[in-house]
Chains A and B, each alone.
Chain A
Amino acid sequence: MTDQIRLKNVFSTALELPINEVDDELKYNADPRWDSTAHMILIAQLESEFDVMLDIDDIIDMSSFHQAKIILQKYNSDLSF
């Protein structure tokens, strides 16, 4: 499974979105399903899936699917999205 698919799966599960709705246009609070509670679930699942512990600043900055890719690559440059 590619890293891109892994990431999409995490977003889809955490935000309870169909996987085809997970794309670079997906933004925090722009979609009603990505609220503050869903954001905590998303962070927990991202940390678990990619085995990282994100800094609080990065959790706050993770405001879109696109941003999530950039932030995760900071922690693991081997990830390819």
Chain B
Amino acid sequence: MVILITGAYGGIGRDICLSYLKVARELFITGRDPVKLNQLMDELNQFSDVPIHAIPADVNDDVTITNIFQQINNQCKRLDVLVHCAGILTQKSLMMTRLADIQLDISTNLISSIVFCQQASRLMSRNKQGVITLMSSVVANQGSAGQSVYGASKAGVEGLVKSLAKEFGPLGIRINAIAPGVINTELVSAFTEQDKSKLADKTCLKRLGEPEDITPIVQFLSSMGATYITGQVIAVDGGLAL
């Protein structure tokens, strides 16, 4: 399989990269910071002989995005799996959020998802097969004070998944989203230990999630076991949404 993972060196992205080493024929990884991306590539190369292509990219730059897909086309002529992990979380009350921050959140979380789907579907439709997995959040449906723009962007991702499942289905492309709960990654590093403890108490399982809780679901969605699953948003939140 030819696999593209964005936001690759983030907590969830890194774990997903590691898991896909077992099934990838070629692995393309992207992220904004070339140093962190190269560190990840070096780490991945220690575990596998799979060719890994690290492409530094800002998901808000459409020219860069086009270049990613041109590289994939030039080297592989196909794409089987896209996992779009890139995202940001701005933790601010709406009153304290500047327009530029609003636009950045919407662009990074939602518009980039749309553009990556647009580009990926072109390569995938050549072989009438492909699997796209996007990242939503439990906030899309549950809401969270201080995360209104983030929640809006993730709700947009869920709407995108449902419409594209209908649009891409005839082309043999499946698309789903994961809605993680509170996962121990950089995105929640600003939370105090007390906040984390309170959030853990709100889950049925009484703990925060780990990237390893997300990865098996992402991999399952692109496996033969999931060939009849599309248009779904799968909560991986320890029961936080209940």
Interface residues of A (CB under 8 A from B): 36-37, 40-41, 43-45, 47-48, 53, 55-56
Select A40's contact among B73, B77, B121, beta carbons within 8 Å. Answer: B121
**Given A53-B69, A53-B70, A53-B73, CB of A44 within 8 Å of CB of B170:** no
Q: Which residues of chain A are within 8 angstroms of B121 by Cβ–Cβ distance?
A: 40
Tell me whether B126 is interfacial, beta carbon within 8 Å. yes
Select A48's contact among B77, B167, B170, B171, beta carbons within 8 Å. Answer: B77
Taking CB as reference atom, which chain B residue is nearest A48?
Answer: B126
Taking CB as reference atom, which chain B residue is nearest A36?
Answer: B167
14 contacting pairs across A/B (C-beta < 8 A): A37-B167, A37-B170, A37-B171, A40-B122, A41-B125, A41-B171, A44-B122, A44-B125, A44-B171, A45-B126, A47-B126, A48-B77, A53-B69, A55-B66
Interface size on B, residues (CB 8 A): 14
Q: Is the CB of A43 within 8 A of B77?
A: no
Taking CB as reference atom, which chain A residue is nearest B72?
Answer: A53
Q: Which residues of chain A are within 8 angstroms of B118 by Cβ–Cβ distance?
A: 56
| Prevailing SS type, chain B contact patch | helix
Q: Is the CB of B171 within 8 A of A43?
A: no
The docked-state distance in angstroms from the alpha carbon of A32 to that of B215 is: 42
Q: Is the CB of A40 within 8 A of B126?
A: no
The docked-state distance in angstroms from the alpha carbon of A53 to that of B123 is: 9
The docked-state distance in angstroms from the alpha carbon of A11 to that of B170 is: 18
The docked-state distance in angstroms from the alpha carbon of A41 to that of B168 is: 11
Tell me, rounded to whole Å, the shortest Cβ–Cβ distance linking B196 to chain A. 42
Q: Is the CB of A44 within 8 A of B73?
A: no
Tell me, rounded to whole Å, the shortest Cβ–Cβ distance linking A11 to chain B. 16
The docked-state distance in angstroms from the alpha carbon of A47 to that of B78 is: 11
Tell me, rounded to whole Å, the shortest Cβ–Cβ distance linking B9 to chain A. 27
The docked-state distance in angstroms from the alpha carbon of A53 to that of B73 is: 8
Known: A48-B77, A53-B69. 11 other contacts (CB 8 A): A37-B170, A40-B122, A40-B125, A40-B171, A41-B171, A44-B125, A45-B126, A47-B126, A53-B70, A53-B73, A53-B122
Taking CB as reference atom, which chain A residue is nearest B169?
Answer: A37
Q: Which residues of chain A are within 8 angstroms of B66 by Cβ–Cβ distance?
A: 53, 55
Q: Which residues of chain A are within 8 angstroms of B123 by Cβ–Cβ distance?
A: 44
Q: Is the CB of B70 within 8 A of A44?
A: no
The docked-state distance in angstroms from the alpha carbon of A47 to that of B125 is: 11
The docked-state distance in angstroms from the alpha carbon of A55 to that of B65 is: 12
The docked-state distance in angstroms from the alpha carbon of A40 to that of B122 is: 7
Q: Which residues of chain A are within 8 angstroms of B167 by Cβ–Cβ distance?
A: 36-37
Taking CB as reference atom, which chain B residue is nearest A41?
Answer: B125
Tell me, rounded to whole Å, the shortest Cβ–Cβ distance linking B50 to chain A. 24
The docked-state distance in angstroms from the alpha carbon of A37 to that of B169 is: 10
The A-contacting residues of B in range 164-210, CB under 8 angstroms, are 167, 170-171
In order of increasing CB-CB distance, the 3 nearest A-B pairs are A44-B125, A44-B126, A37-B170
